[in-house]
Amino acid sequence: EVQLVESGGGLVQPGGSLRLSCAASGFTFSNYGMSWVRQAPGKGLEWVSGISNFGASTSYADSVKGRFTISRDNAKNTLYLQMNSLKPEDTAVYYCANIQASILGPPFGSWGQGTQVTVSS
């Protein structure tokens, strides 16, 4: 069974940093491009960042460009999101998904429980 487990969220002050992780299992991780998607309370899903299957290509939403870095370790079946210079507007639940699922949205693909990021003073 496909499983995606996000972790690493928490409470941080504006300007702080967090590193999120997504542990994948139940499929060949290196066959898929991956994305991070976030959802603020009462809001829709917002695509944040994507990475190709071997990490050669990355892309970012304008709102996080220059502050966030996506990466992956295929040997560990893990996706990462390094978040620096965090802003209150970054407060959301963060999810990982393969690129196709991130485009289609739920119920397509597999989605984990997400990890909460709260940026507040």
pLDDT along the chain (121 residues), means of 10: 96 98 97 97 95 97 98 98 98 95 89 96 94
Question: What is the reported pLDDT for 25?
Answer: 97
Q: Please give the pLDDT value at position 106.
A: 87
Tell me, what's the pLDDT at 107?
A: 87
User: What confidence score (pLDDT) does residue 47 get?
Assistant: 96
Model pLDDT, residue 114 = 97
Q: What is the pLDDT of residue 96?
A: 96
Phi-psi region of 108 (alpha: psi -120 to 50; beta: other; left: phi over 0): beta
pLDDT at res. 13:
98
What the block records as the tokens of 120 is: 């507040």
Structure tokens at 85: 């210079």
81 neighbors 93 (Cβ within 8 angstroms): no
Handedness of CA 99, 104, 110, 116 (dihedral sign): positive
